[in-house]
A and B are shown apart, each in its own frame.
Chain A
Amino acid sequence: METMIDSRMIMTDFLAALFDKLDVAAVAAMSKLPSGEKAAYTLFTDKSGLKECVPFFPAMPANAARAISKLTREEAPSKTVAVFLRPCELRALTELIKIKQASLDNLLIISYDCSGVFPFQKINLSDETKLNAYQDAVSTGKNSEGIRPVCAACTRFTPRGADIAISIVGRSADQPLVLSFPSEKGQTAAKQLGLDVSKTVEASPAVESLARERKTAEEALTEQVNESLSGAQGLVNIFDRCISCHACSYVCPICYCKNCYFDSQTFEYFPESYFTRMTAKGTLRMPVDRVLFHLGRLSHMGISCVACGMCEDVCPVNIPVSQIFKTAGSKAQAVFDYIPGENSDDPLPLLAYAENELEEFED
């Protein structure tokens, strides 16, 4: 466990210090939108906009790793950008680095132990009662009522791989930020911030109790998904209302392809092909390959699924996409002993092999 220190700064001080003491060129974090109801991931290049900044607002309008990928894909920024990322967003960024869709150079990553987010449609800046109840849950280390199911079942909610980690679970919102600096970049930042490192703070037991609650929820979710994914009939039951809009892949941070395979000419057929299928089956629901899209997408990115919940958030017909992808993805990850987002040096399982392995899948 990294040493945590009392920074004696509340969020606004900390944000200002990023510009004043760390001399960052920009800060990327959630901010209030003019409507006053929603928030969006935003890039600030000076302090003037910071009063609208709400880094912990419990919604995920987009997985921020996508934004950071856009910012850094062509080349690394020439100056330091401080980016706030939830742990699952940081894991997604790590996966994107492996496929050369993002770079860590000149990023200062700020993350925090995450209490989860609400479905985007279900939370507004003006929802005081909900937000207060959420804050109570954060400070007592409990799952808040109404957060997304994959958040409630997320067991990787601590900020691994961050340069600066903020400890918020088990702490009240108005107390000064408790920070730790796990990386070299972070250590340098700590010095520049001029913090008194002797002001150490104990880890809150609330983190442990939240971890336990999450573990139990994860087991229940796994069981529930496994029960529903029961062969051809089960797949039809789950996906029969899917309208094949593919929104789930468009928002997925791991689905980075400019032209998705499942939107490609590969899945355009000549009429004869439809007739052949119909002869075998007698009837055919159109468009075809609906379940194939989901299983196929799982085969493309399931090993890297960070269970961020975006796909489920945008599904217009409420299919529990991310619960399915989290569950099936974890099983696939386990085959290769792979934890997505754990370390940017871990090779992607399908781009590596060992000469003697996986015998149980032969013959």
Chain B
Amino acid sequence: MANNETDIKIVAFLCNWCTFTAADLAGTSRLKYAPNIRIVKVMCSSRIEPVFILKALLDGADGVLIGGCAPGDCHYSKGNFYARRKIALAKTLAESAGLDSDRIRLSWIPASEGPKFAHVVNEFTEHIKNLGYNPARREVYI
């Protein structure tokens, strides 16, 4: 059944300067990518608190994608280094809670790389489809 789940939902937190711009570029270049992501734009990947990610998962998102500038290229020079630590923490806590940290992906996608953005979204969507629905999705007592 896992492969047919067409309404898989992925929350994507993208930084304004790189990955969101790449998403924009993918759009204006008319690249097709899986329609399962819901984008939340943030100014910097370091704005993404582990709480955001854990909340998405507990509320039933099937996957969480975090996109930021490549290390060394942060618009604010070092935000993504802090972001990497926060994502590492979020993944570790998700794993401790048995929430499958594989549903969380951190990708560095520079502004000029529209095709990379489309590729990452497609690949991650496929990966989440293989994992199937997040069991928290229908959990009403969580």
Q: Scan A122-147; emit 1 where CB is below 8 A from any B CB, else 0.
A: 00000000000000000000000000
- For B89, give its contact among A229, A240, A281, A299 (CB under 8 Å): A299
In the assembled complex, A197 has its CB within 8 A of some CB on chain B: no
Stretch with Cβ within 8 A of A (4 or more), from B12-20, B24-32, B33-41, B103-111: B103-111
Segment with Cβ contacts to B, from A55-63, A180-188, A231-239, A306-314: A231-239
| Contact yes or no, B85 A350, CB < 8 A | yes
Q: Is B92 an interface residue (CB 8 A)?
A: yes
- B142 at the A interface (CB under 8 A): yes
* Nearest-CB residue, chain A, relative to B51: A296
**Residues of chain A in range 303-335 having any CB-CB distance to chain B below 8 Å:** 303, 327-328, 331-332, 335
| CA distance in complex: A302, B108 (Å) | 27
Q: Judging by beta carbons under 8 Å apart, are A335 and B98 in contact?
A: no
Mask: chain A, 327-363; 1 = CB below 8 Å from B; 0 = not: 1100110011000000000000110111101100111
Cβ-defined contact, B97 with A358, below 8 A: no
Q: How far is the CA of A231 from the CA of B81 in the complex (A)?
A: 29
**Selected contact of B82 from candidates A236, A280, A350, A363, CB within 8 Å:** A350
CB nearest to A277 among chain B residues: B59
Contact with A along B90-102 (1 / 0, CB 8 A): 1111011111100
Q: Quick check: A285 and B99 within 8 Å, CB to CB?
A: no
A282→B108 contact, CB < 8 A? no
Q: Is A284 in the interface zone, CB < 8 Å from B?
A: yes
Contacting pair A335 B88 (CB below 8 A): yes
What residues of A have a CB within 8 angstroms of the CB of B95 in the complex? 331
Chain B 55-92 interface residues, beta-carbon cutoff 8 Å to A: 55, 58-60, 71-72, 78, 81-82, 84-92
Give the distance to chain B from A164, nearest Cβ to Cβ, in Å: 36
* Residue contact A362 to B92, C-beta cutoff 8 Å: no
State A98–B49 Cα separation when bound (angstroms). Answer: 20
Chain B's closest residue to A360 (CB) is B88
- Closest residue of chain A to B96, judged by CB? A328
Q: Given contacts A277-B59, A280-B60, A291-B142, is CB(A230)–CB(B81) below 8 Å? A: no
Whether A232 contacts B85 by the Cβ 8 Å rule is: no
Cα–Cα, bound, A317→B114 (Å): 52
The complex places the Cα of A280 from the Cα of B99 at a distance, in Å, of: 20
Whether B140 is near chain A, meaning CB under 8 Å from some CB there, is: yes
A-side contacts of B93, CB under 8 Å: 295, 298-299, 302, 328, 332
Pairwise interchain contact A353-B78, C-beta atoms closer than 8 A: yes
Within 8 Å by CB of A235, from B72, B78, B89, B142, lies: B142
A290 within 8 A of B: yes
If A285-B140, A350-B89, A355-B72 touch, does A331 touch B96 (CB 8 Å cutoff)? yes
| Residue contact A282 to B140, C-beta cutoff 8 Å | yes
Query: Which chain B residue lies CB-closest to A226?
Result: B96
Tell me whether A245 is interfacial, beta carbon within 8 Å. no
Chain B's closest residue to A356 (CB) is B71
Residues of B within 8 A of A232 (CB): 58, 98-99, 134-136, 139, 142
Which of under 10, 10 to 19, 20 to 34, or 35 or more describes the interface residues of A?
35 or more
Q: Is B98's CB under 8 angstroms from A235's CB?
A: yes
Q: What sequence of 0s and 1s flags, for each residue 69-88 of chain A, a beta carbon within 8 Å of any chain B beta carbon?
A: 00000000000000000000
| List of A residues within 8 angstroms of B89 by Cβ | 299, 302-303, 332, 335, 349-350
Q: How far is the CB of B60 from chain A (nearest CB, A)?
A: 7
Selected from B96, B107, B134, the residue in CB contact (under 8 A) with A362 is B107
Contact in complex: B106, A362 (CB < 8 Å): yes
Chain A's closest residue to B120 (CB) is A363
**Knowing A284-B140, A332-B92 touch, does A358 contact B51 (C-beta < 8 A)?**
no
Find the A residue at minimum CB distance from B50.
Answer: A299
| Cα(A226)–Cα(B51), bound, Å | 21
Bound CA span A151–B141, Å: 31
* Complexed CA–CA distance, A324 and B78 (Å): 33
Contacts of B55 in A (CB 8 A): 289, 292, 296
Provide the residues of chain A in CB contact with B140, threshold 8 Å: 281-285
Add 20 more A-B contacts to A235-B97, A361-B106 (CB < 8 A): A229-B96, A231-B97, A231-B98, A232-B99, A232-B136, A232-B142, A290-B142, A295-B58, A295-B93, A298-B93, A298-B96, A299-B51, A299-B54, A353-B82, A355-B71, A358-B84, A358-B88, A362-B84, A363-B106, A363-B108
Could you list 10 A-B pairs, sorted by A, with CB under 8 Å? Answer: A229-B98, A232-B135, A233-B135, A236-B142, A240-B141, A292-B58, A295-B54, A295-B97, A298-B96, A353-B81
